[in-house]
Structure 1
Amino acid sequence: MVRELREALDDHQFEVLYQPQVHLETSTVTGYEALLRWRHPLRGVIEPQDFMRSAELSGLIIPIGLQTLDLICAHISHWDDQLNIAVNFSPRQLSTDNAAREIIDTLDRSGTPHNKVIVEVTELGVVGQNAAATLATLHKEGIRIALDDFGAGFASFAALSELPLDILKVDQSLTWALSDAQHSSERAFIVMESIAAIADKLGMESIAEGVETAEQAAAVTRAGCTTGQGYYFGKPLPADAHTTAVQEPPLAVASPAQHRRWR
């Protein structure tokens, strides 16, 4: 696969889709998460989970990440400046010595305002000191930092006090538990409400991931989350399909298996 990944880089086979993030009180699109896809010439679209490990181990994730950021900057150059764009970065990329400078230089070459960009990291991506230093530098440059999949691991609360975070993204498993008959939806709601309260007290935005139904959207709103993301609001779409308003009525919901393929 490493050889194919090198060819994919050379041939610009990577593409980006965008999933809306919606303010729960106003139903307004506030921004998008950029989601990487590999359009293989023979196998079609390949999801990140099927190639990311090989990219990480080979070190190719670093040039892939920079090429993807270039593509994102080109896509959003004519978007409304009030729309945010969240970009996921690899733990390995954030840990390189020049990571912060490479990201900032890419934004500056394209004229992308720093405050328009949100760098998304997972807990595993911020354990090392180099990655933490990268995030601190980016934050000082006006780039916001989001902690993804909050609540899915064990280091989240330590990260709250150690990292320059602006946004907490609540893991989708907690959102799904709000309407799962096999789990205690009441307990899930209390946990969701507590996370939203912590974010609010720390001056952070809280984003509920994986919102797939009207019931879940109502629940995360009651819990105090500021923003929602998921198939209820819209599936990942090409750059030219973005909008600033949620479709009314909301998009039809596909099966959970179909939804989770996009993550």
Structure 2
Amino acid sequence: MAVSLSSYLAEKVTLIEKNLLPALEKEGVPPTLYDSMAYSLMAGGKRLRPVLVLAVLEALDKPVERGIPYAVALEMIHTYSLIHDDLPAMDNDDLRRGKPTNHKVFGEATAILAGDALLTRAFGYIADAYLHHPEVSPQTVVKLIAELGKRAGARGMVGGQMADIEGEGRSLTMNELEYIHQHKTGDLLIASLLGGGLLAEASEEQLEALSHYGRCIGLAFQIQDDILNVEGSAELLGKAVGSDADRRKATYPALLGLQASKERLAALIAEAKATLEAAGLGHSALMPLADYVMERKK
């Protein structure tokens, strides 16, 4: 990359964040519900999923502006999932990104409804934003919605969350653990990459490479999360460390040990980068973004 990854991320995150609030419906929405949605949507974070959309468009020499509506919708879905994950019935967390979780500020009922509203708005926003877009065909919009619905739903992120809940307090095999994280974390990352690919008119071979890259960094992302929950900094993470062990959650360090988890993490990142090279995408920001997944501290 001609610029540093930190500069690249700062530029893309700024672009994404200035488009988040305008995408929310405000007129006719109860003020408390709107405030709850906006509170979590604008609470910061890595914005990795929307950045991946824009990085794919750049890699395939298409304008990043084409991907902004889809990137914003992805961040709405990711935010809804965090609001619901933090609820007492799920992970029961008090902090998210160093701030009180949504239900701690607005109450459980409002937090649930804010998540519901973000999820449904995401799909409506994709349809609205691309309805008369000169560079995005109706067929592409249908493919975007179908792919995102699959990756975010019962066969994807939600199914992974269900398997995670059912796995608490019992011993899991490596296959069971990787099923959880391929879906709970990996599917929305794959949706980011494939969405960017569809918007960039990628070939079938390029879409397959992006999907494989996504599977690798999705597992790597979760392994790094598990490692940080053991040896990370609560101040940097913005939430408590050691919470996975307290809840007897199945994690890579618990199953493999810390050192073997780090080796598995490095191998997945190497595989992700090799996949990009083979697909002719080794010049793109997707390469250092893979390293970022492994090296991040929060």
Interval containing the TM-score (normalised by the shorter chain): under 0.3
Instruction: Report which of the two has the higher share of helix.
Output: 2
TM-score of the superposed pair, with normalisation by structure 2: 0.25
TM-score of the superposed pair, with normalisation by structure 1: 0.27
